[in-house]
Amino acid sequence: MKKIAVIVMLFALMLTMLGGCFKNPKGSVPKPTASQSAGDNNTAGNSNPAANNGNGEDNGSENNSGSGSVEALKPAGNPSEGFANYSTYKSAAYDRITTLADEDDSISMTVSFGYLGVAMVDLSLLSLTLMTGDLQSSEMAMGMLGMEGAKITNSGNDYTITYKDSDGASFKQTCTYDPGKDQLSSTLYDADGKISIFFEYVFLGDAYAAQYYYPSNEAYEIIRAYFDKDNVAAFGILKASDEPASILNKSGFNAEFVKNDQSYVVLVDGKLTVFDNGTTTTN
């Protein structure tokens, strides 16, 4: 029972950490939304991202701002630990961006509202925090958290979670985690077998590259992310018609990975650049 309580506490801690990324989270959790922008997918949704992410330049120089940095990560051995490390870096990166954006009225609204979904999207993936070494305790913890009939199975590095919510809707989530490379891929399906969210991240030794794909307003959106411990923070949001190509087992990513013809925000060396609706603003 002690293990179950610990898992529940860790789940709640993760929820609190993610919740701290956004302001005024009143009411029900909305689906991730992006700044409404026109334009085609610009092939970013179905191209090889490693081929479009720049020249692999080193963006890891030290940032002297002192805010939004994180301590060294503990090695991860399962999806729960890997996702926790990723979320720690992401939360700090998002905080670095919003802190600078709040200092400039010309971009604060764009970042605060247009990129709220970047912070909130991980709420749909919190069941990853339950994919630990003790799956039986995790199942019991899921029941305590309102996930009815929860079942977690795994074979090697592959995990599957099935459960029902309080309304009786069925969900299935799959996850593949490679602890040697610290890379993760997960897909959440609804009762009709349609993708509710697809998520991947790769750890690059000192930075993360990640992407999300989810339905939004009868279409799909992609969020792309690249961030390191304390200097680079970059997020891009775009409409998409096709599921993006996998980034697993890829390398050479940098802040260019998130750029598209619709919307992105990039912070490098204390310089914040916001592109939205065809307009570029630099702080």
Express each pLDDT in 254-273 by its tens digit.
999 999 999 999 999 999 99
Confidence tier at 56 by pLDDT (50, 70, 90): very low
Asked whether 153 and 139 are in contact (CB, 8 A), the reply is no
Token pair recorded at residue 198? 């697809």
Is the residue at 42 inside a domain?
Answer: no
Is the residue at 53 inside a domain?
Answer: no
Token pair recorded at residue 227? 């961030």
Express each pLDDT in 97-148 by its tens digit.
999 999 988 899 889 888 999 989 999 998 898 888 788 888 888 888 888 9
Express each pLDDT in 148-178 by its tens digit.
999 999 999 999 999 998 889 999 999 999 9
d(CA 172, CA 193): 8
Residue 51 pLDDT > 80, yes or no? no
pLDDT at position 68: 61
Q: Which residue has the higher pLDDT, 56 or 172?
A: 172
Asked whether 197 and 211 are in contact (CB, 8 A), the reply is no
d(CA 92, CA 116): 15
Which of 2, 11, 9, 7 has its CA nearest to residue 135?
7
Is the residue at 87 inside a domain?
Answer: yes
Residue 64 pLDDT > 50, yes or no? no
Q: What is the pTM of this model?
A: 0.77
Domain that residue 185 falls in = 2-18+77-282
d(CA 125, CA 122): 5
Is the residue at 51 inside a domain?
Answer: no
User: Looking at the 3D structure of the chain, how many domains does it have?
Assistant: 1
Residue 63 pLDDT > 60, yes or no? no
Is the residue at 56 inside a domain?
Answer: no
Is the residue at 222 inside a domain?
Answer: yes
Is the residue at 69 inside a domain?
Answer: no
pLDDT at position 145: 83
**Averaged pLDDT score across all residues of the chain:** 80
Is the residue at 26 inside a domain?
Answer: no
